[in-house]
Structure 1
Amino acid sequence: MQDPKMLNYIEEVLKNMPTDWLKLTTHRLDIYDESLAKTQFIDQFEALYKAQNSDTSALSELPTAFDYIRLGHPLSSILEWGIAHVHDLKPEQVIAFSSQTMPVLAVLRKNLFDHKNTQILYTGDLPPAFDFEALEHVYGYNFELKQVKNADDIPDFRGSTIFISQDDKMGGADLSPAIDFYVSVQPPLGSIILVNSEESESYISEIQHVRRRETIAMTPADSFSALQQLVGKSPSMGVKTDTVKNKASVVQSVQEITATKSKVLLGSCGLSVQYAIMMGLIDDAKEKHPGKNIKIIVPPNCYGGTNDQARRVVAAVENVDILDLPVDRDNDMVQSTDQVLDQVAQLDAVPYIIAEIPTNPRVEVPDLEKLKAVLSKTRQTPTGEKAIDPVFILDQTFCPNIQFLSKEGVFSSIRSISYVSGSKFPSGGKCTAGYCVANEKAEDLMPTIEKHFKLCDNEATDLQVEILAERLPSMNKRIADAYINTREFVNFIKKELPEAKINFVPDEVVEQGFTPSVFSLDLPTKGDTDEEREAYKRALNQKLIDMMISEIPNESKHCVSYGQLKGCYWTIPATSTQGTTKEEDKDYIARVSVSPNLDLEHHKRVFSDFVEQL
């Protein structure tokens, strides 16, 4: 039921909210506790509501809801809180997606593992994004699909009942007790899933995890529009210019930057791009190599989202397995690739390799000519037949300016697809949207990948495309300027603290065109045992970060991102980007991301002060 007091309060919050709630892709990690994601924000927001305090200063002090807006943010959390109030649910029972289809896929995934039946009910026509044949054939999901007249027309069923509605006003839902999951589709904003029974509460974390890894939360701009609709106002957020023109501009920029001619696919974030690539390639393998096993080859210590998502795909899809590709520390990517592709050939399987160049967080670049040679090598199966050649899936978020896939590029002879997270250099931290392209050898794979973008409804929003259209033309210049600052900072640290180990690109790699603006810092340590030395180093890492952020609060930030327009960003990969990586593969080092616009001299002075205290 409608609660005028609650709706009036939300209306005041929308008037007074901090501007960062709409504009940031990453929030303050100094007021973020991952174990209390969303709940801590909601608890304190509820306290403000009870006190009827909607002052900007009070809202600004609320703890960060999620560390990255892909996962959720203040506005999506308030939207979920408001809708939960309307239906007398707990806030965690309401989850807002940018995608119209992924809430349904999340429940299907959970029921696949639980061996539980699912019926999907809908009224009218289904949203065009739903491709139920692919959900069965490629994803392996099982369900019964039925059209009904309304939410009361629900047949008895042993299992989970998902009801899809496209006719709701924002916040409206006819929650029959027979419905376990109510999905309110709200084009073009996305969808909202209501977990409608106590028996289904065990699904909440699984649904959240799908939103975390395979798609995104409803964006801040769209959540703002949804909240305006909830309180009875007309949405004021909108795309300022022509979406068709914006998309054409983005496609042109990406093709110029990458020197490719393939279709450019734009996703809601880097991980939604990666998910479409993986599911598209699995779809392609099932069609072209029926019955053969598929091997996803991935570094065990790469970015945690990549690692986690790959392993989640493997867990859910039959005949797909993970093979580790050790690339960092004492391991060589070339040797590891050679060995693992030999292994896949002996299994007569389909190899898909995901790799980051440079590696994260140690910023290492393999010998590209040698890597090309091992990727191109003709291998044989045990029966003497030619082994299936690999598809190389390159995450080049750290070097989006390198033309790996051009006609003259190093990987031109290998089926290759590259993708980039848009929250980094493409948008300068203004949005999460990412993109992918293929070289000539892999262009034929793009239609199948696009099919899964559409099925998952994970394409970039109009506003995200607008932001990319504004930012992409200046990207290469920002990359060059940020590298100059980074190189100067690295050289200064080497001089001030020569005992520190710095992971950064050497000169010979820079000559190849690699100019990242991120480095990792392994500070000197002491102690009598390995445990003491590790504990001392970790404490020292944190001390440095705390000093930088407290001394330069307007520029130095706790942040997991990279490629921002200004400032300097600090994190410990083991506790942020490597969150789901196995403990023994984590890196407890400081990762520093430098922008093209910062007071570098101030950062040098603070670092000198830090060294004096050692």
Structure 2
Amino acid sequence: MSENKVLNYIDDVVNNVPSDWLKLTTHRLDIYNEDLAKTEFLQHFNNLFEQGNSETSTLSELPTAYDYIRLGHPLSTVLEWSIAKLNGLKADQVISFASRTIPILAVLRKNLFDKKETILYYKGELPESLDLDTIQQTYNYTLKIQKIDSLDDIEKFSGSTIFFQATNDLGKVELNENIDFYINSHSQLGSVLMVNGAKNEAYIPAIQHVRRRETIAMTPQNSYSALQLIQGNKIAAFDQAKFESDKKSVLESIRKITASETKALLGSCGLSVQYAIMMGLIEHAMKQHPGKAIKIIVPPNCYGGTNDQARRVAAAVDNVDIMDLPVDGDNDMVQSTDKVLDEAAKLDAVPLIIAEIPTNPRVEVPDMDALRKALVKDRKTPNGENATDPIFILDQTFCPNIQFLSEEGILSEVQVISYVSGSKFPSGGKCTAGYVTANRKASHLMDSIEKHIRLCDNEATPLQTEILAEQLPSMNQRIADAYKNTREFVNFIKETLPSAKINFVSEELAKQDFTPSVFSLDLPTKGNTDEEREEYKRALNQKLIDMMITEIPNESKYCVSYGQLKGCYWTIPATSTQGTTKEEDKDYIARVSVSPDLDLEKHKQVFADFVKSID
């Protein structure tokens, strides 16, 4: 295949890119087939390439590559396709990352379980944050590093060989049978990993899973720049002064919103932040409590990314295990917390608790004073010593306006780390960047967390930081406006379909500033058996969502997002956010996310029509 043909087509695509490809964080699910994620997009895109068709209107109708930008998106997929074409590889052998170091960790993770050695060869300089001692002692990975002048210096090896180079040309490599993985790294954009040879194709899903859970794909804007570099074009220089100004603004906004004087950290997404929290607290526990077991305590039905990541960390790191924290439905978070911390004390373990308040998807808020008492309760180990105090890791994405971290707050006696997914209210759905900070009692832990955000090169990009600087100052007002719409919609549903079970905060909780704009809807069902009733309810869920997105296509969307500037978002948690959750813990209910700006009367009308259509 002619290299010029590929380059010419890339040039046309770059010039005709649909605006949504650069702007959406949750892409169109009306043209998305999860079973064919990425592959369907590539098949259609390749057909357009063969036809020489790069019209904007045609590109915009391609099937969605991924349902969420963190995992990948049209431009990262086009970038990977382009690099594969230029190097005679298959598209799935090329994987782009916003991070420059996580691709290395992704190979090391698989080799940990495969019991294979790894050598990293490099030219130029490695990222300063690549800390070998921490990688070995905290992540449990083993890596040898060797600087070379030429690829001819790389010898055949029974384990895995990685060749890393910092370069402005992300597109080309010299394929060498002694190299298993190529990583081309760019200081501004991220990196591209290439899997070489059929013998290494088993690594592809494992590497993709790391990208899915511990970092993000190269962002749309950076993928766009990388495609320009492949064309030999220049990209805008990094504006250090603007970045510092935006970052200062964001940190000041976070300080005001959280009422915490502890420094905040910005990550490329919520899970990037959570990974740094996990690894930072694990390293801290290893140093402060050597030899003690570390227990990650996590709700079994919480957001699938949180659940999956925690279990992946526990699987890879010695002396780290999972303890379940049932919090939803018939389970009470306070009672579960008290019980599980008692169990951790009996084991003389270090307890790290992850919880969402309000819970997802059932939007429940525990008795906060009772939760405080459970967290600060004096506990003893079997030998009579004081048990290790828990660290409460709070996912505050649903209510980032609540000042849990204030010195006057109800949890001030507890070590609290709070983090928020930035693709929700902080950015209004414009980027994925998240943030983390702590109350005074946990402030000493932030340096450890910062170390791991940097080691993983998972800090927020300059553009992500710019978007947060624009959006964060108005966040609390948007939360208030969205809650008002949500409360009105919930009240209408109660009146129109009183037999439906709605999970939403009470008016009393709302007066305490628990004002989420998401609720879950358990529709009425019928049937002679549990199976029939469940099947009927699931079908009814889908019917409602289909009506909403069909009747109000410009506002009602079928996706997992939350906190957007405009519209209404519908999903079934069991088939989206709880994708990796155990089947018995999944929630087959409708979750609805309402924004501050939507045609509420139209949504009421469609819901009323839905109720009339029920048999």
TM over 0.5: yes
Instruction: Give the TM-score normalised by the residue count of structure 2.
Output: 0.99
1:194-238: CA deviation from partner (whole Å, max 9, x where unpaired): 001110000000000000000000000000000111122222597
Structure 2 distance, partners of 1:531, 1:519, is 25
The equivalent of 2:432 in structure 1 is 432
Query: 1:25-36 alignment to 2 at 5 Å?
Result: 25-36=25-36
Q: What is the root-mean-square deviation in Å for CA atoms of aligned residues?
A: 1.2
Query: 1:182-261 alignment to 2 at 5 Å?
Result: 182-235=182-235, 242-261=242-261
The equivalent of 2:456 in structure 1 is 456
Structure 2 distance, partners of 1:219, 1:20, is 13
The equivalent of 1:149 in structure 2 is 149
Structure 1 distance, partners of 2:241, 2:57, is 33
Cα displacement (A) at 1:397: 0.2
Cα displacement (A) at 1:120: 1.1
Q: Is the 8 A contact 2:168 2:229 kept in 1?
A: no
AA of the residue aligned to 1:514: F
Structure 2 distance, partners of 1:124, 1:242, is 28
Structure 2 distance, partners of 1:190, 1:379, is 46
Structure 2 distance, partners of 1:512, 1:534, is 35
Residue 136 of structure 2: SS of its match in structure 1?
Answer: helix
The equivalent of 2:106 in structure 1 is 106
The equivalent of 1:527 in structure 2 is 527
Structure 2 distance, partners of 1:135, 1:111, is 13
Cα displacement (A) at 1:174: 2.0
The equivalent of 1:597 in structure 2 is 597
AA of the residue aligned to 1:58: T
Cα displacement (A) at 1:65: 0.3
Structure 1 distance, partners of 2:148, 2:234, is 31
1:44-87: CA deviation from partner (whole Å, max 9, x where unpaired): 10001111111112111111100101000000000000000010
AA of the residue aligned to 1:66: Y
The equivalent of 1:285 in structure 2 is 285
Structure 1 distance, partners of 2:265, 2:213, is 19
Structure 2 distance, partners of 1:16, 1:596, is 32
Q: Is the 8 A contact 2:125 2:165 kept in 1?
A: no
Query: 1:37-436 alignment to 2 at 5 Å?
Result: 37-167=37-167, 169-235=169-235, 242-436=242-436
Structure 2 distance, partners of 1:377, 1:284, is 22
Check 1:401–1:410 CA distance in 2 against 1; reply closer, same or farther (3 A cut): same
Cα displacement (A) at 1:126: 1.5
Check 1:238–1:44 CA distance in 2 against 1; reply closer, same or farther (3 A cut): farther
Cα displacement (A) at 1:167: 3.2
The equivalent of 2:564 in structure 1 is 564
AA of the residue aligned to 1:411: L
**Deviates further, 575-584 or 9-18:** 9-18
Residue 242 of structure 1: SS of its match in structure 2?
Answer: helix
Check 1:266–1:314 CA distance in 2 against 1; reply closer, same or farther (3 A cut): same
Cα displacement (A) at 1:559: 1.3
Cα displacement (A) at 1:513: 1.1
Q: Is the 8 A contact 1:225 1:237 kept in 2?
A: no
Residue 172 of structure 2: SS of its match in structure 1?
Answer: coil
Residue 170 of structure 1: SS of its match in structure 2?
Answer: coil
AA of the residue aligned to 1:70: R
Structure 2 distance, partners of 1:237, 1:598, is 38
Cα displacement (A) at 1:2: 7.0
Structure 1 distance, partners of 2:529, 2:126, is 62
The equivalent of 1:502 in structure 2 is 502
Cα displacement (A) at 1:512: 1.4
**Deviates further, 174-183 or 71-80:** 174-183
Residue 593 of structure 2: SS of its match in structure 1?
Answer: strand
Structure 2 distance, partners of 1:2, 1:440, is 61
Residue 192 of structure 1: SS of its match in structure 2?
Answer: strand
AA of the residue aligned to 2:405: L
Q: Is the 8 A contact 2:265 2:437 kept in 1?
A: yes
AA of the residue aligned to 2:189: L
Structure 1 distance, partners of 2:27, 2:218, is 16
Structure 2 distance, partners of 1:35, 1:115, is 31
Residue 301 of structure 1: SS of its match in structure 2?
Answer: coil
Cα displacement (A) at 1:187: 1.2
Structure 1 distance, partners of 2:125, 2:273, is 27
Structure 2 distance, partners of 1:79, 1:156, is 30
What are structure 1's unaligned runs of at least 5 residues?
Answer: none
Q: Is the 8 A contact 1:415 1:439 kept in 2?
A: yes
Cα displacement (A) at 1:247: 0.3
Query: 1:575-614 alignment to 2 at 5 Å?
Result: 575-614=575-614
**Deviates further, 384-393 or 2-11:** 2-11
Structure 2 distance, partners of 1:576, 1:8, is 38
Residue 490 of structure 1: SS of its match in structure 2?
Answer: helix
Structure 1 distance, partners of 2:167, 2:153, is 16
Q: Is the 8 A contact 1:266 1:436 kept in 2?
A: yes
AA of the residue aligned to 1:549: I
Cα displacement (A) at 1:240: 11
Structure 1 distance, partners of 2:527, 2:241, is 60
Q: Confirm or deny that 1:518 pairs with 2:518.
A: yes
Query: 1:463-482 alignment to 2 at 5 Å?
Result: 463-482=463-482
Residue 152 of structure 1: SS of its match in structure 2?
Answer: helix
Query: 1:482-493 alignment to 2 at 5 Å?
Result: 482-493=482-493
Structure 2 distance, partners of 1:391, 1:226, is 41
Q: Is the 8 A contact 1:224 1:237 kept in 2?
A: no
Q: Is the 8 A contact 2:170 2:192 kept in 1?
A: no
Instruction: Give the TM-score normalised by the residue count of structure 1.
Output: 0.99
Structure 1 distance, partners of 2:59, 2:157, is 45
Structure 1 distance, partners of 2:30, 2:24, is 15
Structure 2 distance, partners of 1:188, 1:525, is 53
Structure 2 distance, partners of 1:498, 1:237, is 58
AA of the residue aligned to 2:539: A
Cα displacement (A) at 1:142: 1.2
Q: Is the 8 A contact 1:239 1:466 kept in 2?
A: no
What are structure 2's unaligned runs of at least 5 residues?
Answer: none
Q: Is the 8 A contact 1:221 1:237 kept in 2?
A: no
Structure 2 distance, partners of 1:475, 1:171, is 39
Q: Is the 8 A contact 1:267 1:434 kept in 2?
A: yes
AA of the residue aligned to 2:578: Q
Q: Is the 8 A contact 2:132 2:143 kept in 1?
A: no
Q: Is the 8 A contact 2:188 2:238 kept in 1?
A: no
1:120-152: CA deviation from partner (whole Å, max 9, x where unpaired): 111233221211110001000012221111222
Residue 202 of structure 2: SS of its match in structure 1?
Answer: helix
**Deviates further, 101-110 or 135-144:** 135-144
Residue 152 of structure 2: SS of its match in structure 1?
Answer: coil
Check 1:49–1:236 CA distance in 2 against 1; reply closer, same or farther (3 A cut): farther
Check 1:461–1:175 CA distance in 2 against 1; reply closer, same or farther (3 A cut): same
1:228-284: CA deviation from partner (whole Å, max 9, x where unpaired): 111222225977971110000000000100000111100000000000000000000
The equivalent of 1:540 in structure 2 is 540
Q: Is the 8 A contact 2:170 2:185 kept in 1?
A: no
Check 1:596–1:241 CA distance in 2 against 1; reply closer, same or farther (3 A cut): farther
Cα displacement (A) at 1:13: 1.2
Structure 2 distance, partners of 1:423, 1:430, is 6
Cα displacement (A) at 1:424: 0.1
